[in-house]
Chains A and B, each alone.
Chain A
Amino acid sequence: MINKKVLNVKDALKGVKSGMTIMVGGFGLSGIPENAIEELVKLELTELICISNNAGVDDFGLGLLLKKHQIKKMISSYVGENDEFERQMLSGELEVDLIPQGTLAEKCRSAQSGIPAFYTPAGFGTEVAQGKETRSFGDKMYVLEHAFKADFSFVKAWKGDEAGNLIFKGTARNFNPNMCGAAKITVAEVEEMVPLGELDPNQIHIPGIFIQRIFQGSTFEKRIEQRTTRKK
């Protein structure tokens, strides 16, 4: 067993520097690496280029980094529900690259898989395709999209072990598995670190080979963005 376990978030984030490109897992506030984000705020790193589907809300998730102007550029698919983000974007303080959600996921997966680029129909005929190579296959048009290149990837899983094996829960899975191994260093934080051998190999979503560092997160608020219920 190759041991990937580090003691805490501080050790897990060693080597992260201002100006780096980072991937951050999660969809909305579900499945975000809360501990890594909190540490990035504490480290006061700036000029970060951040690849994440969403940008958090004003006082949680990536919104915490935005509020302190630590992010130079966001690469996302949907950034509603964050007033500070919208203000910084419209005023030009923040660079924003909006790309289709499936393209975002595939750019992660390609980086993980050693595929330099791929064709997708998403965005053909729109401003997303501007300046990009397009090509027809059969009777349909496609846009060439390139794999991401990132320095660090921060993901969050439900359970993990010292070997770096991960299991995700519910829709908190989202982009997290696709970002594992998609950057030079992948840091996984887990809600529950279990003893080696306890995870059933049949049930593991991401094998430890994709992970360089894993740690037990100290706190998880797991905030709900849109609490919606029905009556009995």
Chain B
Amino acid sequence: MLDKIGIAKRIAKEVKDGYYVNLGIGIPTLVANFVRDDIEVEFQSENGVLGMGPFPLEGEEDADLINAGKQTITTLPGASFFDSALSFSMIRGQHVDLTILGAMEVSENGDIANWKIPGFMVKGMGGAMDLVASADNIIVAMMHTNKKGMSKLLERCSLPLTGVGCINKIVTNLAVIEITPDGFKLLERAPGISVEEIVSSTDGHLIIDGDIPEMIID
């Protein structure tokens, strides 16, 4: 089974040379640490920066330089700043190549829920609704089950939706799953995890076609 770092490492393999990438809060933020250093990638943060670098050294934090998770950041040579409207022009205008975000639930038709638990937790959608409604290439990074052990991959989402029919791929601590017109399709198993374990942790139909390889994580 993978931990959060493992999930981030596996997703980093999906990041290709020349991509502009938007990373959500949580596990997605970690992905930046594991992208191959022989390719050129620029990270966009929807609060208004392209060309984000690593976190600053202690003592070099700047209140005017944060990411969408409100964490202090640095910029790399070639970086740029812009206002919120222009930031979402990049997103809705499909200039961002890959979006990686977290989720509470994903359904087999690619719906995602990640912003609200009615009557209990309401933090808001932030930029997630704009991102999922616009991007062609969206990967969800999440644990396979919630704290109660229930599957976060469902036939239909039970929570209020963030977007409909928009997710392409899910990477969890147990598996890599693609969303196809016929539902969830198992692509890879996490190290040491059997197909049966993945099936029993997944609600909704899971297509298993032939031998399922184990993920290769560096």
Contact = CB atoms under 8 A, between A and B. Distances in A.
A178 B87 CA distance: 11
Interface of B: 45-49, 54-58, 60-67, 69-73, 81-85, 87-88, 91-92, 111, 115-116, 119, 121-130, 133-134, 160-165
A203 interface: no
Contacts of B129: 100-103, 122-123, 126, 128
A226 B85 contact: no
Contacts of B46: 101-102
A77 interface: yes
B63 A173 contact: no
Contact of B92 (A80, A102, A175, A205): A102
Contacts of A222: 63-64
Contacts of B60: 229
Contact of A121 (B65, B84, B125, B133): B133
B48 A173 contact: yes
Interface residues of A, number: 59
Contacts of A120: 92, 130, 133
Contact of A77 (B48, B87, B119, B127): B127
A228 B71 contact: yes
A31 interface: yes
Interface in A204-231: 205, 222-231
A126 B92 contact: no
A79 interface: yes
A228 B65 contact: no
Nearest to A177: B83
B66 A171 contact: yes
A169 B122 CA distance: 31
Contacts of B125: 77-78, 98, 100-101, 128
B83 A126 contact: no
Interface string A24-40: 00011111000000000
Contact of B48 (A80, A106, A174): A174
Given A123-B133, A128-B129, A226-B70, A101 B84 contact: yes
Contacts of A124: 133, 163-164
B84 A105 contact: yes
Contact of B57 (A81, A225, A226, A229): A229
A36 B55 CA distance: 31
B92 to A, nearest CB: 6
**8 closest A-B pairs (Cβ-Cβ)?**
A102-B88, A102-B130, A125-B164, A170-B64, A105-B84, A80-B123, A100-B129, A222-B63
Contacts of A89: 122
Nearest to A178: B85
